[in-house]
């Protein structure tokens, strides 16, 4: 967005050369994958997916499927999001960004909190190298986690779903289908890494998890929200959070939820407080369900497993 604004002020209709020769590649959505493809000399498929906040999770599932069906040995999958006043100004205009903690920014991002008042802007990128197990073992790669499967769907912006809100039934179907595709039972999940944006939809998301997993109270898995520490990175959020999940699986810990000391009462009624750790928890976890839900009523859920050396 900043690139467009900068370009517009440089030109009039008769002086388009002032835009510069890189204006198109810097503005097009596929410019990043094209740039990386050239830098790394990648063949096979170089493409860009764009699905709001599910982009990163979706990219990993697309790469997973391409490898699973034998079209590639390894794929680099990830997502990124820019930052700037013209991007975040739009979210302010939608009244989804918090302003109550401007003088105390570290307390602003409050997923699952009773005093959550909106998202905190974040940006960045995350990427994962996916490959077949044979390929990883052959080259002696460090294996952080195994992708067992997942699901992508849409709620159709019906039955409670809209451009900005998820259809609860579709969210639940996405989670259930991800478990089925991965071949695991709901009771096997040790950790849920939620989308959890610090908005009024957090309690609804927890309710969806409880319904989909048929688990609640002390039986609910551990749950964490990385956005409490890094803010909401939009299209980058899924891949950044997947990197965090892979690290938790490999190193044996559950990252804390900060700023939720005043847990939302609707969440507390569903999930035991101990399942939402506020401090770093060193614990060997085996299976994680990671979900991303995005604008347009689109959903993605991925099941990852700790890799155990044979």
User: From the CA atom positions of the chain, what is the Rg in Å?
Assistant: 20
β partners of residue 217: 271
Query: At 81, which helix (H) or strand (E)?
Result: strand 74-81
DSSP-derived 3-state class of residue 27: helix
264 is catalytic: no
Q: Which of 174, 195, 233, 301 is catalytic?
A: 195
Q: Which of 174, 210, 232, 233 is catalytic?
A: 232
301 is catalytic: no
By C-alpha distance, which of 154, 151, 166 is closest to 199?
A: 166
d(CA 230, CA 107): 11
C-beta separation of 290 from 299 below 8 A: no
- Catalytic (active-site) positions: 53, 195, 232
């Amino acid at each position: 967005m900043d690139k467009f604004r900068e370009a517009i002020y440089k030109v009039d209709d008769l002086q388009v050369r002032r835009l510069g020769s890189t204006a198109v590649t810097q503005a097009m959505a596929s410019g990043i994958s094209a740039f990386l493809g050239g830098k790394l000399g990648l063949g096979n498929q170089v493409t860009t997916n764009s699905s709001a906040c599910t982009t990163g999770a979706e990219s990993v599932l697309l790469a997973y499927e391409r490898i699973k069906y034998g079209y590639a040995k390894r794929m680099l999958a990830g997502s990124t999001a820019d930052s700037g006043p013209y991007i975040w100004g739009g979210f302010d205009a939608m009244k989804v960004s918090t302003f109550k903690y401007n003088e105390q920014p570290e307390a602003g991002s409050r997923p699952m909190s009773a005093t959550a008042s909106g998202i905190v802007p974040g940006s960045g990128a995350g990427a994962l190298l996916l490959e077949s197990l044979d390929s990883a073992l052959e080259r002696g790669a460090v294996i952080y986690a195994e992708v067992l499967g997942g699901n992508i769907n849409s709620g159709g912006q019906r039955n409670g779903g809209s451009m900005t809100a998820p259809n609860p039934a579709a969210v639940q179907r996405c989670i259930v289908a991800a478990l089925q595709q991965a071949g695991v039972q709901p009771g096997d999940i040790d950790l849920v890494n939620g989308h959890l944006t610090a908005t009024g939809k957090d309690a609804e998301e927890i309710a969806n998890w409880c319904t989909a997993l048929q688990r609640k109270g002390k039986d609910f898995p551990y749950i964490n929200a990385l956005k409490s520490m890094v803010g909401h990175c939009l299209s980058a959020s899924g891949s950044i959070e997947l990197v965090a999940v892979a690290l938790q699986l490999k190193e044996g810990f559950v990252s804390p939820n900060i700023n939720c000391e005043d847990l939302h009462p609707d969440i507390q009624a569903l999930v035991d407080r101990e399942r939402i750790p506020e401090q770093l928890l060193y614990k060997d976890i085996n299976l994680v369900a990671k979900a991303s839900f995005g604008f347009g009523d689109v959903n993605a859920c991925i099941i990852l497993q700790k890799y155990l050396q044979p």
